Structure 1
Amino acid sequence: MTSMTVDRRTAGTAAPGRTARPGPHFLTAPLASRTWREQGYLALVLLLAPFAFTYTIFTVSFTAGVAITVAGLFVAGAVVLGARGWGAAYRSLARELLDVDVAAPAPYERPRGFWRAVGSMLGDATGWRALLFMFLALPLSAVSFIVSVTFLATGLGGLTYWFWYRFLPEQPGADGELHRGAQFGSSYFLDTPPRLALAALIGLVVILCWPWITRTFTMLFRALTRGLLSPTRASLRVAELERSRTGTVDDADARLRSIERDLHDGTQARLVAVAMQLGEAREQLLDGGDVREAAELVDTAHSSTKEALTELRELARGIHPPALDSGLTVALETLAARSALPVHVDVDPGVESEGRLAPALESIAYFSVAELVTNAAKHARATGVYVLVEPVGDTVRIRVRDDGRGGATVVPPDGSGLRSGLAGLAERVHSVDGTFDLSSPVGGPTVVTVLLPTSGSSGRA
């Protein structure tokens, strides 16, 4: 089944096209590319760490030193913002060498006004979180690199000891003989075949443990990268609300322009024709003209007036369906009765109890169902639609299922400012802190689930 979820909380950290690599086997881990990439990450982080640490100390001390000067505060704010560049560099390293693709925080937007700009620069949370990462990176990178390289060198040394021990200088032992090899105590030398084999065995064990020691340290860096260099939940929420607000404003503007065009090209033109017809009929009656012709003009004007009223009702229904005044259940049943497809509506009585849905949310629920029923009739070649509306905790769930051919997708906006079809519907749902889920495998069925916050929960979002 193909499933696509459009949700404000979907802020994935996986890069498009990037798949998680499976972990290597214990015995092959020392030869795995992942192990060597992780070791390379530790080496590069250690190279960067002194410079990053110096930048952090400079930022803190410089900010404290110039706090009494206005110009100095502005420069200090720029230095804090500069930490964003360091954060981007560390995220890039983690993405390329650790397969951790952390989304970049929202870009800094300078507010209007000098003091507000200075305050936002000095208080930039993204910059300070990057500085904290840089402060912690120095001790962690030093310890991790030293321990990791020590394990690697010890393991390789033990495995190859049988070859290079013979080049060591001779040393007198307690037995009065000269020995070559590593000395432990006064008379224990690694220079006999059993002891050479023991050294190789110890080296093998150490080299097999080395990848997991390295991985332990890189796991700490992964956690730090995700925790300090990723967007905060609050910033993601603010960015999503800004996008939703922009989309809602664009949709409202497009809708108003559409209503304006319909009124100008349709209803207004028809009313102008009615006025001309009535004016011509009046002139004929005043001048003693043909009464029959005047009656025909009045009859035509009467028909045009009724058509104009019908158009106005359709426009009003598109803005606010009159049936909603009697509740969501009645409105959806009316919609089902007017649909070209058989539509079965099942609304739980708890949805409308105690004003569970605010009027604005009822309108969104109605138009969501209307849009989905229309899509099923026009595009899905469906023979029937089932609509279920029920309370689920602090939300109201709307599930619309059709038996059409499936294959529906949410097409993102094309940049023109207009959002049509499912994309516009998803944007409208997100603007009120709701969620929109689409499952539409090829061949059907198509199931759309919309969750809207209730009147009691929307204030807590």
Structure 2
Amino acid sequence: MVTDVHVREPQAAAGDAQAGLRRRRAVRPLEDVGFWRGPFSARTWRELGFLLVVMPWSVVGAVYVVVMIALTAGLLVTVVGAGFVLGGMVLGARGLGALDRGLARGMLRADIASPPAFRPRRGLWGSIWAMVSDGAGWRAVAFLVLQFLLSLATLPLALTFLVTPLGAITHWIWGPYLPASPGTDGEMHRGAQLGPSFFVDTPSRYVAFALLGVLLLFVGSAVVRGLAHLHRILAEALLGPTAASLRVASLEHSRGRAVEDADLTLRRIERNLHDGTQARLVAIAMQLGEAKEQAVSSGTPEELTDLISAAHTATKETLVELRELARGIHPPALDNGLAVALETLGARSPLPVTVDVDLPGPPAPRPAEAIETIAYFCVTELLTNAIKHARATAVHVRVTARDRTLHLVISDDGVGGAAILVPDVAGHHSGLVGLAERVRSVDGDFALSSPPGGPTVVTVVLPLHIS
């Protein structure tokens, strides 16, 4: 038996499975503004500023969409090129949507959570389809178009309902400097003309016009808040997560907690077996051994001595079985990290096993305990298959971490022909099916390549942490 183990970096101490989760930015609640407080509220002028800023910014978004459509149409002759350009620009719309979310949070106080992160797929066509079919990206594209159209309507209305009242209030200052216009009375008048012969050019009319402007200013403040609310509704509808995505995220979180709880339960059972049941069986075996010695020395009948001897042997065999059961529930070697556990597993194998582990060391956190357990049992099952069925003479295990995922590649030089079989009518299936299901339970990927004649290569991709 030969075991060659290369561990490039030691594992970090126990990591937090939730370390990597993003925290949503806290947004202050909207100020409750009544009609008569409108012109004096910071919210009114902040939201007017939003309407002024979003107009030129929405032009950028509209131009982006037009360019996206034009480039895609120009590259339709090459499906791959068109797919990558369209998919890339759909993902780019996500980035513009993130900027719009920040703008809405800061100026509209809109509490908008981020949509689910983009999930790439393996392979060329899988990558293209994942980008092109990204729902959050397309909703961001729709937002860019609708925001531009909405801005074209809301900004002129907001300026009209605020500039007009301010002009009426200050008309007494600049009205006398307007060009003179002839009235129906035959005289020349300077001031705002509200009818064929009605000019605001007397002190009483200046006061009345200013009072009308003050009233319209309150109305205009309410109009500005209403127009800004339309933008808020649009952003919340298209830039945040959908009800379905929130449900999926909730289910993923529940599933992740279930996997972690199951792993913790198995660890607790293993500790109880090791510290409680095994210890009691050891004590019973020692007592039976002493009873056997005393029975032999005191001349106890042979039948009783044989009975005590059989009980002693059965107790020792039970201890061995219990140790194997506890090791199958949770290998103690995993307490020191995946690298040490795989080294121990390779050392116990009757085949030459090369274990090559390349994981980041401290201060990077270790993979989640449940992920390490799944990885360990994948290697254990595949190594067992190579020994029992593949007639292999050597096994190579390669473990790396990249892009927040744990990659395992287990290969042997056996006869090949392994397959993931469909369960029969009785529900029986091969161990590979169980492995694949266990890997997919945490959104992992299980790929098998085993042509007749070999070699057999299994690639397992697991997340470093459970969602």
Normalised by the shorter chain, which TM-score bucket?
0.5 to 0.7
CA distance in 2 between counterparts of 1:244 and 1:97 reads 35
Tell me the equivalent position of 2:100. Answer: 90
CA change 1:285–1:67 in 2 (3 A) is farther
CA contact (8 A) 1:14 1:100 kept: no
Residue 20 of structure 1 deviates from its aligned partner by 2.6
Instruction: Give 1:71's match in structure 2, choosing from 74, 81, 93.
Output: 81
CA distance in 1 between counterparts of 2:41 and 2:245 reads 38
Residue 148 of structure 1 deviates from its aligned partner by 0.6
CA distance in 2 between counterparts of 1:184 and 1:223 reads 37
For 1:442-453, list aligned pairs within 5 A: none
For 1:230-309, list aligned pairs within 5 A: 230-286=240-296, 288-289=297-298
**Letter of the structure 1 residue corresponding to residue 70 of structure 2:** S
**SS of equivalent to 1:28:** helix
Residue 277 of structure 1 deviates from its aligned partner by 3.1
CA displacement, residues 224-258 of structure 1 (integer Å, 9 cap, x when unaligned): 11211110111111111111111111111111111
CA contact (8 A) 2:113 2:241 kept: yes
CA distance in 2 between counterparts of 1:167 and 1:141 reads 34
Tell me the equivalent position of 2:33. Answer: 24
Residue 98 of structure 1 deviates from its aligned partner by 1.5
**Letter of the structure 2 residue corresponding to residue 111 of structure 1:** R
CA distance in 2 between counterparts of 1:250 and 1:68 reads 49
CA change 1:254–1:185 in 2 (3 A) is closer
CA contact (8 A) 2:71 2:85 kept: no
Tell me the equivalent position of 2:70. Answer: 61
CA distance in 2 between counterparts of 1:21 and 1:241 reads 31
| Percent identity over paired residues | 45
Range 172-181 or range 189-198, more displaced: 172-181
Residue 91 of structure 1 deviates from its aligned partner by 1.3
The TM-score with structure 1 as length reference comes to 0.58
Residue 202 of structure 1 deviates from its aligned partner by 2.5
Residue 185 of structure 1 deviates from its aligned partner by 5.2
Greater relative CO, 1 or 2 (CA 8 Å, sep 6+): 2
Tell me the equivalent position of 2:165. Answer: 155
CA distance in 1 between counterparts of 2:44 and 2:205 reads 30
**Letter of the structure 2 residue corresponding to residue 277 of structure 1:** Q
Range 59-68 or range 250-259, more displaced: 59-68
CA contact (8 A) 1:14 1:101 kept: no
CA contact (8 A) 1:173 1:187 kept: yes
Residue 201 of structure 1 deviates from its aligned partner by 2.7
Residue 40 of structure 1 deviates from its aligned partner by 1.0
CA change 1:178–1:59 in 2 (3 A) is same
Say whether residues 1:167 and 2:210 are aligned partners: no
**Letter of the structure 2 residue corresponding to residue 94 of structure 1:** A
**Letter of the structure 2 residue corresponding to residue 50 of structure 1:** V
**SS of equivalent to 2:289:** helix
CA distance in 2 between counterparts of 1:185 and 1:28 reads 32
CA distance in 2 between counterparts of 1:223 and 1:21 reads 14
Tell me the equivalent position of 1:367. Answer: none
Range 145-154 or range 112-121, more displaced: 112-121
CA distance in 1 between counterparts of 2:24 and 2:254 reads 23
Instruction: Give 2:115's match in structure 1, choosing from 105, 112, 124.
Output: 105
CA contact (8 A) 2:183 2:196 kept: yes
Tell me the equivalent position of 1:177. Answer: 187
CA displacement, residues 92-144 of structure 1 (integer Å, 9 cap, x when unaligned): 12111112111111111212222122111101110110111110111211211
CA displacement, residues 265-313 of structure 1 (integer Å, 9 cap, x when unaligned): 2212322332333234334434x34769x99xx7xx99xx8xx99xx9x
**Letter of the structure 2 residue corresponding to residue 239 of structure 1:** A
For 1:343-422, list aligned pairs within 5 A: none
**Letter of the structure 1 residue corresponding to residue 35 of structure 2:** F
CA RMSD of aligned residues (A): 3.4
Instruction: Give 1:34's match in structure 2, choosing from 36, 43, 53.
Output: 43
CA displacement, residues 393-427 of structure 1 (integer Å, 9 cap, x when unaligned): xxxxxxxxxxxxxxxxxxxxxx9769xxxxxxxxx
CA contact (8 A) 1:91 1:225 kept: yes
Instruction: Give 1:146's match in structure 2, choosing from 139, 148, 156.
Output: 156
CA distance in 1 between counterparts of 2:281 and 2:24 reads 58
Aligned residue pairs, count:
297
Range 145-154 or range 174-183, more displaced: 174-183
Say whether residues 1:52 and 2:72 are aligned partners: no
**SS of equivalent to 1:24:** coil
**SS of equivalent to 1:27:** helix
The TM-score with structure 2 as length reference comes to 0.57
Structure 1: segments with no counterpart, 5+ residues: 1-12, 313-414, 419-430, 432-461
Residue 194 of structure 1 deviates from its aligned partner by 2.9
**Letter of the structure 2 residue corresponding to residue 77 of structure 1:** G
CA change 1:290–1:156 in 2 (3 A) is farther
CA change 1:189–1:244 in 2 (3 A) is same
CA change 1:75–1:21 in 2 (3 A) is closer
